[in-house]
Amino acid sequence: EAQPTRQGRVQSEEQKDLQPSAGVNVYQRMGAELPALPPEKEFKGRVDEAYGHFQRGEYVQALDKALNRAQNGDAAAQTLVAEMMSRGLGIARDEKTAAFWYQQAAQGGDPVAMFKFALILMEGKFVTRDKAKADDFMRRAAEAGNASAQFNWGQILVSENPGAKGLLMALPFYEKSAEQGIADAQYAVSQIYWSLKDVPAEKKAKARDWLTRAAKAGYDTAQVDLGIWLVNGFGGERNLDEGFRWLYGAAQRGNVVAQNKVAHLYIQALGTRPDPVEAAKWYVLSRRAGLKDPSLEDFYLGITDEQQKKAIEAANRFRPT
């Protein structure tokens, strides 16, 4: 995977004689008396028995513990009951009753429940559809720190405020969501950093870092874009080999745009050796999926009948990984 080139560390005159500790050999450690562990801090919070049972897969016990607390207005327990009912864990699946408990927990301020109930309100299947309420719960969940809600609230802001204004309004929520590992948000941050002129230079310089994180998280559009950025030198140094690797991986997983780009890379020998049969194979696959490309069609018509035959046979054997 693409990694930034590490530069050598410059040492000052004061530092040049410093060497890392050689440590203690494992054999020297064996049998030696170890220093005492620091005293553990006394836990003064409430032990969540219901969630403990849930984590261990003891769903019946978890539901029994959580239901009593839920009926007494405990928002966290209400969320746990709703989650178990919506998934049929420890009880028959009952999405309508789960929606009721999500609503109770959302009204009690639980961030996860506010996010889930916002989605339920948007869908309108188990409760009356109410966009205004859904948006309010989504905003509150986002402001309370729920990563998925932060991304979704950003999406709502963008949809309701076209152009750069909406993107800049959404950016703080995308950034917080991205920091918590939501790949969609990481991709959104990379695109906003790179495309908007009002973004500070120090943020713009991190656009490819965010794109790389989204790609490594498995977000296929980010993988394709990262390959293109690396090949073209967008947002950092040009790296043909890494660019080809990202695009080839996405193509192997069935991404049609990546298949088209890989065909071009094989023709131009960028990041790989020239291979007309491989180029034609990837073109055939992308063409079958409906992606037209006149320049690749011209290339395909210019190779030999034997090469075309081999390319079609290879395309017929292809199965996404």
- What is the tens place of the pLDDT at every residue in 258-294? 999 999 999 999 999 999 999 999 999 999 999 999 9
Mean pLDDT of 157-186: 97
Mean pLDDT of 236-253: 98
% of the chain at pLDDT higher than 90: 80
Mean pLDDT of 90-119: 96
Is pLDDT above 50 for 228? yes
Inter-residue contact 211 to 192 (CB < 8 Å):
no
Is pLDDT above 90 for 141? yes
Domain coverage including residue 173: 145-218
253 and 304 fall within a common domain: yes
Higher pLDDT, 23 or 158: 158
d(CA 220, CA 235): 19
Q: Which residue, among 71, 51, 70, 73, has the nearest Cα to 62 in the 3D structure?
A: 51
On whether residue 84 sits in a domain, the answer given is: yes
Mean pLDDT of 80-85: 94
77 and 120 fall within a common domain: yes
106-137 tens-digit pLDDT: 999 999 999 999 999 999 999 999 999 999 99
One DSSP character per residue, 62-86 reads HHHHHHHHHHTT-HHHHHHHHHHHH
Higher pLDDT, 65 or 37: 65
Whole-prediction pTM value? 0.79
Inter-residue contact 116 to 101 (CB < 8 Å):
no
Query: Which of the 8 DSSP states describes residue 172?
Result: H
1-47 tens-digit pLDDT: 443 333 333 333 333 333 333 333 333 333 334 445 445 444 344 54
Out of 144, 169, 196, a domain closes at 144
188 and 99 fall within a common domain: no
129 and 152 fall within a common domain: no
pLDDT of 59: 87
A 10 A CB-CB count for 258 gives: 26
Average pLDDT, the chain: 88
pLDDT of 16: 37
Out of 144, 167, 202, a domain closes at 144
Out of 197, 218, 239, a domain closes at 218
Mean pLDDT of 185-198: 96
97 and 165 fall within a common domain: no
One DSSP character per residue, 216-279 reads HTT-HHHHHHHHHHHHHTTTS---HHHHHHHHHHHHHTT-HHHHHHHHHHHHHTSSS---HHHH
